[in-house]
Amino acid sequence: MARDLTIHHLFREADFKIDERDCIFSTPIRKTDLVLVENLTTGRFVAAEMSRWGVIEGQTFTKVIFKSTEMESDWIPLNAVFRPYPHLASLVFLTMRLEVLRSISCGDTCECTDDPEFVALAEHLKKQLAFKPKIESRPDPEFCNEDTHHQSYLNLFLPYLLNLPPISEKHEGIALDHSDSKGFFVKSVQQLEKDTDIGRYIGQYISEEEADRRIKLGKASNDRECKFYIYLTNLIVNGEEMTVGIDAAIHRNHLCMINHACKPNCKADTTTKHILAPGIVLELVNIKTITKIENNEELLLNYNMDGLKCWCSMTQNCRIRNQEDWAQPTCNLRKILNIKTNTRKRKHNDVSEGQETLENVCSDRNTSDANDNANDQGIQSSNHSSFNRELTVPESQFSGEDNRKNE
Ligand SMILES: C[S@@+](CC[C@H](N)C(=O)[O-])C[C@H]1O[C@@H](n2cnc3c(N)ncnc32)[C@H](O)[C@@H]1O
């Protein structure tokens, strides 16, 4: 019996073109996330949990501390860590299972699943599929008052010198708050009159293409906390309109934490124009109240987003969020667990489909800059995604995690 299988072998033998190390740059890794760690001496992977990370004194690259059942906690270079997307986790699991079955040519009753390496990794990958980050454990977000731009946005205009919009100070009448069911939200701390301008939606300006890439990443990550922070706006270049995104997932102010409601008390106003360079005009996104808002009321916007499973309960289509609202993994784990040897061909087809999705996402990595890498390595906890009147995202992107029992 061939018992010397490693994940490397498994990928190779199944003829998959998956560069697992690349994936770390395309999906956020958080502390306590489940990862696969490569033992640099043996080249084998073990299941592990991210414990801490940082830059070791005198070294130029980031290292992480991991905990695994097999080894003591240790510092390892970040590029030895692989956190597959949840649906990739199921593909890895499927590949292992297929390879083990193939290598020993046995039926379902074989002892191959007793192999300690297989069992440890399979357990690990199953946990990966059940990835459910908790909103309440989130650290307070950091805010700033200025926009910034991504390389993809600069590329649209070089060699022009861009004049970024001015600083937008936080309005004194609003504050950030948090609830277990909705995560962060914005509330008033004083009465706000109708038509009050409460500030500009701050973010990182990105090209439409980059916005698409980040949306794809959000989908591919299958993160149940999948949140949307990109607001699309218009840029008028020599009289022609083009779309750009303002991504507030990382670079943001309070306003990106305003939740959606079907009957909102605020609106996004794009009538203020800002001249970035001669002939290049940006439509700024200002948030304004559309009703009088009493002290201690939540500020709400209509995202006008198709497919949002809205929890605001203001219309018949909305409901209260519950556990079922989480996005389900795209790959059917139960199917994989019940795999039969004689269904091997069909399963291989399943794998190709999923892999295609993943490759599409990873292949766009070059458009991302150093800023992105920092974010993707878990420095921030938020997922990149988007909300806007023009975006249509499948329902599974808008899932929640808790019910409202704590409110
Ligand atoms: C810009 S964030 C709002 C702040 C968010 N509560 C947080 O903690 O980061 C937008 C995300 O919040 C969630 N959300 C906000 N309002 C919602 C609503 N009425 N129904 C469902 N999801 C909502 C969705 O996941 C959406 O992608």
The verdict on 123 and 147 lying in the same domain is: no
The answer to whether residue 278 scores a pLDDT higher than 50 is: yes
Give dist(CA 76, CA 313) in Å, integer: 47
Lowest mean pLDDT among 11-25, 191-205, 316-330, 341-355: 341-355
Cis omega (within 30 of 0) on the bond before 77?
no
In-domain check, residue 399:
no
The Cα 298–Cα 311 span in angstroms is 14
**Tokens 């794809």 — which residue?**
216
**Looking at the structure, do residues 73 and 180 belong to the same domain, yes or no?**
no
Q: What is the dihedral of CA 24, 26, 28, 32, to 10 degrees?
A: -30
Domain that holds residue 43: 7-131
Q: What is the mean pLDDT of residues 78-92?
A: 70
Percent share of the chain, pLDDT over 70? 53
| Residue 87 confidence (pLDDT) | 63
Q: Is the CB of 311 under 6 A from ligand 1?
A: yes
What average pLDDT does this structure show over 370-391? 31
Q: Is 391 exposed, middle or buried (0-12, 13-18, 19+ CB in 10 A)?
A: buried
> Could you tell me which of 91, 122, 126, 125 has the C-alpha nearest to residue 331?
91
pLDDT tier at 70 (50, 70, 90 boundaries)? Answer: low
Flag whether 390 is in a domain: no
> Of 191-195, 246-250, 274-278, 360-364, where does the model show the most confidence?
191-195
Q: Tell me, what amino acid is at 253?
A: N
Q: Say yes or no to pLDDT of 201 above 90.
A: yes
The domain boundary residue, chosen from 80, 107, 131: 131
C-alpha radius of gyration, the chain, whole number: 23
Phi first, then psi: give them for residue 155, nearest 5 degrees.
-60, -25
Domain identity same for 122 and 147: no
Each residue of 124-134: pLDDT tens digit? Answer: 887 777 665 55
Q: Residue 31: what pLDDT?
A: 67
Per the domain annotation, does 308 fall within a domain?
yes
Asked whether the beta carbons of 189 and 299 are under 8 A apart, the reply is no
> Do 52 and 196 fall into the same domain?
no
Please say which residue of 112, 131, 150 terminates a domain: 131
Give me the pLDDT at residue 28, please.
Answer: 56
* CA-to-CA separations, 106 to 7, 35, 96, 263, in angstroms, rounded: 20, 30, 14, 60
Total residue length of the chain: 407
The DSSP string of 121-132 is HHHHHHHHHT--
- Hey, which residues does 37 pair with through a beta bridge? 46, 81
Q: What angle do CA 46, 48, 54 make, to 5 degrees?
A: 120
Q: Are residues 283 and 161 in the same domain?
A: yes
CB 199 within 8 A of CB 299: no
CA of 38 to the centre of ligand 1 (A): 36
Q: What is the per-residue pLDDT for 246?
A: 95
Whole-angstrom distance, CA of residue 1 vs CA of residue 249: 50
Q: How many structural domains comprise the chain?
A: 2
Tell me, yes or no, whether 403 lies in a domain.
no
Does ligand 1 have an atom closer than 6 angstroms to the CB of 259? yes
The answer to whether residues 120 and 167 belong to one domain is no
Q: Which two tokens stand for residue 307?
A: 């497919």
- Find out whether the beta carbon of 153 lies less than 6 Å from any atom of ligand 1: no
Q: Report the pLDDT value the prediction gives residue 358, as an integer from 0 to 100.
A: 28
Dihedral sign, CA of 6, 217, 68, 21? positive
Q: Are residues 118 and 154 in the same domain?
A: no
Q: Residues 145-180: pLDDT tens digits?
A: 999 988 888 888 777 777 889 999 999 999 999 876
Q: Which of 272, 307, 322 is the last residue of a domain?
A: 322
Residue to mutate (ligand 1; options 227, 247, 389; most atoms within 8 A of CB): 227
Mean pLDDT of 93-119: 64
Q: Name the strand (E) or helix (H) holding 269.
A: strand 266-269
- With a cut of 70, say whether residue 11 has pLDDT above it: no
Q: Quick one: what percent of the chain has pLDDT higher than 90? A: 26
Q: Flag whether 125 is in a domain.
A: yes
Domain for residue 106, yes or no? Answer: yes
- What whole-number distance in Å separates Cα of residue 301 and Cα of residue 112? 54
- The pairing of strands 259-260 and 300-301 is parallel
Do 123 and 210 sit in the same domain of this protein?
A: no
Residues 104 and 151 occupy one common structural domain: no
- Whether ligand 1 lies within 6 angstroms of the CB of 44 is answered as no
Region 272-280: what's the mean pLDDT?
90
Helix axes 344-363, 208-221, angle to 10 degrees: 140
Tell me, yes or no, whether 163 and 311 share the same domain: yes
360 Cα: distance to centroid of ligand 1 (angstroms):
26
Q: How far is the CA of 385 from the centre of ligand 1 (A)?
A: 11
75-79, 142-146, 206-210, range with the lowest pLDDT: 75-79
pLDDT, residue 334, reads 31
Atom 11, ligand 1: residue with shortest CA distance: 227
| Token reading at 375 | 């974010």
Contact 264, 302 (CB under 8 A): yes
Q: Supply the mean pLDDT for the chain.
A: 67
CATH number of the CATH domain containing 250: 2.170.270.10
Contact 260 CB / ligand 1 (< 6 Å) = yes
